[in-house]
Amino acid sequence: MTRDDRPTIRDVARVAGVSKGTVSFALNGRPGVSEDTRERILAAARDLGWTPSTKARALSVSRAFAVGIVLAREPELLGADPFFPAFIAGVERTLSDRGQALVLQVVPESEEEAGYRRLADAGRVDGVFLLDLRVADSRIALLTELGLPAVSIARPDVPSAFPAVLVDDRPGIAAAVSHLAGLGHRHVAHVAGPSHFLHGSRRRRAFDEALASAGLPAGPVVEADFSAAGGAAATHTLLAGPDRPTAIVYSNDLMAIAGLSVAIEHGVAVPAQLSVTGFDNTDLAGYVSPALTSVRTDPYLWGRKAAEALLDLIDGGTVDDVPVPAAQLVIRASTAPPPL
């Protein structure tokens, strides 16, 4: 069937024996149509294979039937970081089920505010997802000003009227430190994410608190950018220093896997001389050598839950924060007791 051959509302009205206006009311769930008539119209639409025009729906209710993500990251980093494809896959699964679209903008950080303003001013989206929360994130106030419904991934550290998917990285980092302490490590380092990202700062704080809770001295911390290159550079710094750690807790798997390669360059055996833990438990974590001990998260589920919450919020519902399962440590071969 070509585009011109597709059944129209006029066809549905003819088969159901009603006016086009009655069909429009029935298909949009408006009052004023009896239940018997509504069922007859819906049956006619099904029999004809009629589907709504997204453009017509948008015009009729002043909706874009699309939601947005603005990411202030280098495109190359997005391609290497497995979090974003998994999260977006979860979002798309929910959007597809509900006839919605996703608008993705990747912009320099200096143009991030302009990206949100473009989406709002052009009416291209009905709401947005707020990822990569910052410390004292100014985007909360911006989206409130723009009147854009939003769902944040994690609860911000500033007042926010928007619902959040309650992602909490801290138990995962605490579990990694506890595991290493239980193996006997006393000199544990951390390769952290950027401190202006809320998850980077929270993971670092969780690392410091977990060391203190285990009765261990404060460990060295090197800040990186979540990339493989950043993780490699941070590992070079830690292993070349005069007081080399016996274990390193990385803030994501990408940096940890790069760290494994750097350890080999330095002639440091993992896990005999150095234990390594990652974060996110990506598919690759179980296949590197040695297999990587990592913190399991579920960005696909987060994407699905975030999309469900945002669509409900756009529809005018009252949406509470969305709980998700806590992160769990997956122990593999990259951790062992420290050398004697």
Q: What is the pLDDT of residue 1?
A: 41
Q: pLDDT tens across 261-295, in order? A: 999 999 999 999 999 999 999 999 999 999 999 99
CA dist list (Å): 223 to 151, 196, 281, 289, 291: 28, 11, 20, 25, 24
Domain boundaries, the chain: 3-51, 66-167+299-325, 170-297
Strands of the sheet with 247-250, listed across from one edge: 221-223, 188-192, 247-250, 275-277
The residues facing 46 across adjacent strands are: none
Q: How much is the CA Rg of the chain, to the nearest whole Å?
A: 25
Q: Is the dihedral of CA 314, 316, 317, 319 positive or negative?
A: positive
Backbone angles phi, psi at 268, to 5 degrees: -100, 120
Q: What is the pLDDT of residue 28?
A: 61
Q: Is the dihedral of CA 191, 174, 247, 299 positive or negative?
A: negative
Smallest CA-to-CA distance from 266 within 242, 246, 230, 236 is with 236
Q: What is the pLDDT of residue 32?
A: 62
Decide: helix, strand or coil at residue 277.
strand
Give the CATH fold of the 170-297 domain: Rossmann fold (3.40.50)
Backbone angles phi, psi at 38, to 5 degrees: -60, -45
Q: Name the CATH superfamily housing domain 3-51.
A: lambda repressor-like DNA-binding domains (1.10.260.40)
End-to-end CA distance of the chain: 74
Q: How confident is the model at residue 13 (pLDDT cuts 50, 70, 90)?
A: confident
Residues in the chain: 340
DSSP 281: -
Q: How far apart are CA 254 and CA 257, in angstroms?
A: 5
CB 174 within 8 A of CB 209: yes
Q: How confident is the model at residue 3 (pLDDT cuts 50, 70, 90)?
A: very low
Q: pLDDT tens across 61-71, in order? A: 467 789 999 99
CB 250 within 8 A of CB 231: yes
CB 160 within 8 A of CB 313: no
Instruction: Judge whether residue 198 has pLDDT over 60.
Output: yes
CB 233 within 8 A of CB 224: yes
Smallest CA-to-CA distance from 212 within 181, 243, 247 is with 181
Residue 339 CB coordination number (10 Å): 10
Lowest mean pLDDT among 41-55, 160-174, 189-203, 209-223: 41-55
Is domain 66-167+299-325 given the CATH code 1.10.3720.10 in the classification? no
Asked if 3-51 and 66-167+299-325 have one fold, the answer is no
Smallest CA-to-CA distance from 277 within 148, 209, 190, 159 is with 190
Section 181-204 average pLDDT? 96
Q: What is the pLDDT of residue 21?
A: 66
Instruction: Judge whether residue 83 has pLDDT over 70.
Output: yes
Instruction: Judge whether residue 322 has pLDDT over 90.
Output: yes
Section 134-152 average pLDDT? 94
Q: What is the pLDDT of residue 59?
A: 44
Predicted TM-score (pTM) of the model is 0.80
Section 315-327 average pLDDT? 90
Q: How far apart are CA 332 and CA 157, in angstroms?
A: 34
Average pLDDT, the chain: 89
Q: How far apart are CA 33 and CA 331, in angstroms?
A: 60
Q: How far apart are CA 158 and CA 168, in angstroms?
A: 16
Q: How far apart are CA 297 and CA 284, in angstroms?
A: 14
